[in-house]
Structure 1
Amino acid sequence: MKMTFAKICAVGLIVGVGSPASAASTIIGNGLAETCSITARLGNRDRSAENVCTQALEARDLIQRDQAATLVNRGIMRLRNGDYSLATADFNSAIQIVPGLGEAYVNRGAVLIKLGQYEASLVDLNKGIELGVEEPAKAYFNRALAYEGLDNLRAAYFDYRRASEINPEWQEPKTQLVRFT
């Protein structure tokens, strides 16, 4: 059975190598929600970290933007743990609360990459890029994975290159670009 590079990368998310990148949402100044944000950025896979996000949401003292961002951050943790339906539900809820939250679309696109649904992932990734995200290099990297999953190597190359230009210190896009030379 032939496995495309993007599918291999998507599988790599669980082991932490060559995986779609998650774009966390920053929250400052609200105890549990802020801890959830930091934990998502650090790549924590611990279920107790996910529970912190749930506690922040259950406290019901978050403004809409922070509630949506906390859903995105919890969704990222669920994505990393392979809980794709729960992650998708969190990203969908975030989009319902704040339709302009690019990170929700980028991360839902990452789930779709993991599921091998590359066309659908492109729709979400393009929307996330259009709306703007805190870490655009990750959005372009994920879009490159989706293009590669569709065997559009030219588009994949340009998005890996764009990700590398946006964040020259991030090694993963450079590693992927080496394969094209």
Structure 2
Amino acid sequence: MKNTICMASLLLGLTLGTAEAQVMVLGGGIAKDCYEAARFETVSPRQGAETCTRAIELEAMNAGNRAATYTNRGVLRMRAGDYDAALSDYEKAKRIRPETGETWLNEGAAYIFLKDYPSAMASLDQAISLDSSDLHAAYYNRAIAKEKLGDVEGAYYDFRKALELKPDWDLAEWQLSRFEVTTN
């Protein structure tokens, strides 16, 4: 017997998971303020991005903190709806620290917002292979991209994996409730 996964007839709007994985900055200064703006939403996204820009332009940072600051500024720019600027920041962060899964995760989310699902898939696959600290969000967002690309079965299994990684996650539970698994 083969399991068939069918989308429920009522398809509601898709919502991204916790796609905005911030990257911790060690130490103090403006770069830490940038991280806190991204992590705790202490200021508006625009103000937070300006803080990050000041950190990038004015502070001496090690490579890890510089990459994290670019990623955090990208998160803030993404929240403000400036996806192209966010993607530019993620690209800069990846050139410095390509092994940071959170950067790839956020890049995948930006591509989803831009409806560039093949690029989202590539970024989210990389976030998963790098074992991003928000792995549940990487699977969740990849499920959205898969569903948009017509891979309904793959989307179902990625939503399940997201829920396995973060049990009792209402958003993933809701997504799974839209599917009906039938046996042929």
Q: Name the TM-score class by shorter chain.
A: 0.7 to 0.9
Q: Unaligned stretches of 5+ in structure 2?
A: 1-10
CA contact (8 A) 2:45 2:77 kept: no
Change (3 A) 1:35 1:175: farther
User: Is it true that 1:143 corresponds to 2:139 in the alignment?
Assistant: no
- Determine the C-alpha separation between the residues in 2 that align with 1:128 and 1:62: 24
Aligned residue pairs, count: 168
RMSD: 1.9
**Could you say what secondary structure the match of 1:177 adopts?**
helix
- Determine the C-alpha separation between the residues in 2 that align with 1:163 and 1:34: 30
User: Is it true that 1:152 corresponds to 2:151 in the alignment?
Assistant: yes
Q: Which moved more, 1:68-77 or 1:56-65?
A: 56-65
Equivalence for 1:35: 33
**Could you say what secondary structure the match of 1:93 adopts?**
helix
- Determine the C-alpha separation between the residues in 1 that align with 2:132 and 2:56: 22
Alignment of 1:18-97 (within 5 A): 18-20=15-17, 21-43=19-41, 45-97=44-96
- Determine the C-alpha separation between the residues in 2 that align with 1:124 and 1:45: 27
Per the normalisation by structure 2, the TM-score is 0.83
Greater strand share, structure number: 2
Q: Percent identity?
A: 36
Greater helix share, structure number: 1
- Determine the C-alpha separation between the residues in 2 that align with 1:46 and 1:84: 13
Higher relative contact order (CA 8 A, sep 6+): 2
Change (3 A) 1:39 1:167: farther
Instruction: Flag as ranges the 4+ runs of structure 1 deviating above 4 A.
Output: none
- Determine the C-alpha separation between the residues in 1 that align with 2:60 and 2:28: 9
Q: CA deviation at 1:93?
A: 0.3
